[in-house]
Amino acid sequence: MNDAYGAAGVSLEAADESVARLKPLVHKTLRPEVLGGIGGFGGLFQLDLARFRQPVLVSGTDGVGTKLKIAHELGRHDTLGIDLVAMCVNDILVQGAEPLFFLDYFACGKLSPDQLEAVVRGISEGCVQAGCALLGGETAEMPGMYAGDDYDLAGFVVGAVDRDRLIDGQKITPGDALIGLASSGVHANGFSLVRKLLADCQLALDSPLPGTETNLGTALLAPTRIYAQPILKLLESIEVHGMAHITGGGLPGNVPRMLPDGVGAVLQRKAWPMPPVLSFLQNVGGFAPQDLDPVFNQGLGFVICVADADVKSTLEILGYSGEQAFRVGWIEATPEPVRLA
């Protein structure tokens, strides 16, 4: 049977080797609630009901898009897993949920244990940063579906929050303040435009990035920031009225998702710095800032809404957690969802 399957392009030996390599990476992420180990048909997680009075499960799924193409060109696959975890975890975080466990899906044409191990190493690191367990996953080797060493990634996270602590934006009122958390760069959205700019402007990934000591490829591959631990720490002492993860659609596409009817957000561009890689892409493409607002995060990976009186404490707590945080705007009574001034 092995020979027949191998002749069809599927290596059972490579799959077995991969599972053996992944076990220690998974073990690094385990939480006390995890039952059993890797290799079962389903992952087991016993929810600690003593920590939640009325637990609400919050789930999310996402991928890393065509950032995969940049990783392939550079031959570096060990940070994409961090992106994958971040894209999922930051999404459920906006509702106040603590990420509990994560699962991944890796699909390829020909399985390379080295490549898969590098990807899962990043997923493991992302789960450690987020404080969630890597509970399981699926590796699918599908000859003919993917060319060469191409692969695709998807992730799935489940978190929990007490029902009376759910954050849905309904407490947001005019006069509230907006706090932005710095991004690490492009994160994992907008790479179709990035790749077009690279091609149109004939930019090499090893080109120096102006104003930095790194090159363009390294800056583009910088993993998405995972905001879970700082935000969960903040929620222990500050009443947060709303939060937004700045992904596809940028600030104008994501900030409105946390707003109730009748209010809008005013964001002041000069209130936070633009990462060098985003400034470079804007300049090399000849774009105005507003042209790229719906594409890139423009330097803010996460936006928080708090009462004006809580701004100082919020910035201090986030600063103690190692985050670069800025007061970036306010809420006003207006039918216009977002205004970037």
Using one digit for the tens of pLDDT, what is the confidence trace for 70-98? 999 999 999 999 999 999 999 999 999 99
- The domain boundary, picked from 99, 131, 165, lies at 165
Q: What is the CATH number of the domain that holds 227?
A: 3.90.650.10
pTM score, whole prediction: 0.94
Using one digit for the tens of pLDDT, what is the confidence trace for 108-154? 999 998 999 999 999 999 999 999 999 999 999 999 899 889 999 99
Side-chain-side CA neighbours of 209 within 13 Å: the count stands at 20
Are 66 and 109 found together in one domain?
yes
Q: Is residue 55 part of a domain?
A: yes
Q: Is residue 67 part of a domain?
A: yes
Alpha-carbon gap, residue 259 to 33, rounded angstroms: 35
Are 66 and 125 found together in one domain?
yes
Are 20 and 73 found together in one domain?
yes
Alpha-carbon gap, residue 299 to 182, rounded angstroms: 6
Are 159 and 191 found together in one domain?
no
Q: Is residue 142 part of a domain?
A: yes
- The domain boundary, picked from 138, 165, 192, lies at 165
Alpha-carbon gap, residue 106 to 154, rounded angstroms: 7
> In which domain, by residue range, is 271 found?
177-340
Q: Is the pLDDT confidence value at 15 over 70?
A: no
Q: Is residue 118 part of a domain?
A: yes
Q: What is the CATH number of the domain that holds 126?
A: 3.30.1330.10
Alpha-carbon gap, residue 337 to 328, rounded angstroms: 15
Are 23 and 95 found together in one domain?
yes
Are 197 and 321 found together in one domain?
yes
pLDDT score recorded for residue 195: 96
pLDDT score recorded for residue 17: 62
Are 264 and 302 found together in one domain?
yes
24-33, 42-51, 176-185, 200-209 — most confident range: 176-185
Distance of CA 33 to the CA centre of its chain: 24
Are 26 and 102 found together in one domain?
yes
Number of separate domains in the chain: 2
Q: Is residue 172 part of a domain?
A: no
CB-based contact 156:104 (threshold 8 Å): yes
Q: Is the pLDDT confidence value at 243 over 50?
A: yes
Are 25 and 135 found together in one domain?
yes
Using one digit for the tens of pLDDT, what is the confidence trace for 244-271? 999 999 999 999 999 999 999 999 999 9
Using one digit for the tens of pLDDT, what is the confidence trace for 271-311? 999 999 999 999 999 999 899 999 999 999 999 999 999 99
Q: Is the pLDDT confidence value at 1 over 80?
A: no
Mean pLDDT over all residues of the chain? 93
